[in-house]
Amino acid sequence: MKKVKEARRYAKALLNTVGIENIPQVITELGIVNDLIVKSREFKSFLINPQITPDEREKGIKQIAGRLRLSENTVKFIMHLSELGVILSLLEIIRIATALYLEKKRKAKAVVMTPIEIKKDYEERLKSSLKKLIDRDVDIEYVMDPSLLGGVLVKVGSTMYDTTIKGQLRLLKSELVRG
């Protein structure tokens, strides 16, 4: 619980510092840095090792940032998190910052799982239906899941909309059990 509060505080600070117009770029860059932390034990160790001086850490981060073409805002934020020893909460900070950004932009992100590829005309109908349902603009990420048996499974925030055959059968079963 404490880590989530801390992550929320840093995510808010990021939004306030960077500005709402630069957030998408910075979040993308922070995602790249987080992937590097996950994949490289050396990089992770470099960021959290208390024996590395702040000057050495700054030099190393700037070198890596140059190779990855990271913006100045991202570099400063990474250095700040590293100095404070909260860099390992980066994924949570990214998640919260994204949610706060979408909230400010009155947008929502939906993950749509389907067993097959969706056609463009259906995409537009789905997008407009979701917009009416949640009263926000919707960015949709499509995930193909062949294990689904027809229909779609939509996740918006913490809400799930299940129109799959399996989901409908589950609802029917619970209705029959209740009488």
Q: pLDDT by residue (tens digit) across 85-136?
A: 888 888 999 988 988 888 787 777 888 888 888 888 888 888 888 888 888 8
Task: Determine the average pLDDT of the residues in 31-42.
Answer: 91
Average pLDDT of 138-149? Answer: 85
Around Cβ 178, how many Cβ atoms within 10 Å? 6
pLDDT band with cut points at 50, 70 and 90 for residue 31 = very high
Q: Domain boundary at 60, 83, 102, which?
A: 102
- Describe the crossing of helices 41-48 and 54-68 by its angle, rounded to 10 degrees: 140
Number of C-beta neighbours around residue 174 at 10 A: 9
Q: Tell whether 11 and 86 lie within a shared domain.
A: yes
39: confidence class by pLDDT, cuts 50, 70, 90: very high
pLDDT at 68 over 60: yes
- Any long-range contacts for 120-129 (C-beta under 8 Å, 24+ apart)? 126/152, 126/154
Question: For position 15, what pLDDT does the model report?
Answer: 87
pLDDT at 5 over 60: yes
Asked if 4 and 91 count as a contact pair (C-beta separation under 8 A), the reply is no
- Is the sign of the CA dihedral 50, 53, 54, 59 positive or negative? negative
pLDDT band (50, 70, 90) for residue 2: low
Structure tokens at 84: 């404070």
Report the C-alpha gap between 69 and 82 in whole angstroms.
19
Are 13 and 43 in the same domain? yes
pLDDT at 141 over 80: yes
pTM equals 0.64
User: 22: buried, middle or exposed (CB in 10 Å: 19+, 13-18, 0-12)?
Assistant: middle
Q: Are residues 90 and 156 in the same domain?
A: no
Q: How many domains does the chain have?
A: 2
At 13, which CATH number? Answer: 1.10.520
Same domain, 13 and 98: yes
**Residue 28, domain extent:** 2-102
Residues 95 and 125 reside in one and the same domain: no
- Quick one: 40 and 93 in the same domain? yes
Same domain, 84 and 137: no
Question: Cβ distance 153 to 160 under 8 Å?
Answer: yes
Same domain, 33 and 97: yes
The answer on 27 and 87 residing in a single domain is yes
